[in-house]
Amino acid sequence: MAIRRRTGGAPRWTELYAALCAAALLLTLTVVYLTTVHVRTAVAEFARSAARPRPVHGVPYADLINRTAVAHHLNPALLAAVVAAESGFDPEARSPRGAYGLMQVMPATWRELDAAAACGATVGPAPPCMNDPAANLEVGATYLRRLLDRFGGNVVLAVAAYNAGAGTVVHHRGVPPFPETARYLRQVALAWFHLEHDGTLTPFWLAVIRAFDLWQRARPVLLAALAALAVPWMWPRPRHRLGPVVPR
């Protein structure tokens, strides 16, 4: 009589479960890295080097952004980063608060900078050319340049003021402690980091920047899901005993 041997190897479902756990771990580590280590590196470098000129390419309106930035003595990568965070390069973008175009310019800013006159007759609450990419970039760049001059070239304060208002930054003597402003600074810094180093912004990074809040909210959910997936691996597994060897 032949000796009976137990067939080794893990069940198929165990292999699939292990693959699922590995994929969840990789996704979680990626999200945690992007929303912590990587963004902190971007913010730190942004504070030091965001004024350093770097032409951009491969993004919508790249040539127009480069020309407008040079005309206003701005870093093109900085101007493009603000556009990425504000509108995602969509000239038709409009916020619930009434901001328009690539740089999400408010009608009050157009009037303050006396830009409405170049648009012709105003019909309704906003000038008719606020969605025009060239006009919108011109006004947004003018306003950003004014903020940089007001805050002594401090790019972080100027960008914070672009989001929260110059008066708010002056009142708080620095970046206002608002979650929206903190998120906005991280978005601009992350966009600038890749524009400064690569000269362009891939669709992947643009999607990450535009949905930065979602990525941050997903982090605890992913960590909880990963912990739940790891629970079965902690249970003691039953030991399988081989049957007795039957001699021939």
pLDDT level of residue 1 (50, 70, 90 thresholds): very low
Domain of 148?
54-210
Residue 107: predicted pLDDT = 85
Residue 81 sits in a domain whose CATH number is 1.10.530.10
Q: Is residue 41 part of a domain?
A: no
Compute the mean pLDDT over every residue in the chain, rounded to the nearest whole number: 81
pLDDT level of residue 123 (50, 70, 90 thresholds): very low
Q: Which of 88, 59, 90, 92 is nearest to 76 (CA)?
A: 59
Q: Is residue 10 part of a domain?
A: no
Q: Is residue 88 part of a domain?
A: yes
Which range has the top average pLDDT, 95-109, 114-128, 147-161, 228-242?
Answer: 147-161
pLDDT at 33 over 70: no
- Computed on alpha carbons and rounded to an integer, the radius of gyration of the chain in Å comes to 27
The structure tokens 């040079």 sit at 70
Q: Is residue 94 part of a domain?
A: yes
pLDDT tens track for 54-77: 999 999 999 999 999 999 999 999
Does 86 participate in catalysis according to the annotation? yes
Q: Considering its fold, how many domains does the chain have in total?
A: 1
Backbone angles phi, psi at 247, to 5 degrees: -70, 155
**What's the pTM value of the predicted model, to 2 decimals?**
0.77
Which range has the top average pLDDT, 4-8, 38-42, 103-107, 125-129?
Answer: 103-107
Q: Is residue 220 part of a domain?
A: no
Amino acid at 176: P
Residue 89: predicted pLDDT = 96
The structure tokens 């805050």 sit at 151
Contact 126, 95 (CB under 8 A): no
Mean pLDDT on 26-52: 78
Catalytic member of 86, 92, 138, 180? 86
pLDDT tens track for 219-245: 666 667 666 666 666 665 555 555 555
Higher pLDDT, 111 or 216: 111
Count of residues in the chain: 248
Contact 59, 89 (CB under 8 A): yes
Q: Is residue 248 part of a domain?
A: no
pLDDT at 121 over 80: no
Q: Is residue 109 part of a domain?
A: yes
Q: Is residue 161 part of a domain?
A: yes
Higher pLDDT, 78 or 96: 78
pLDDT at 20 over 80: no
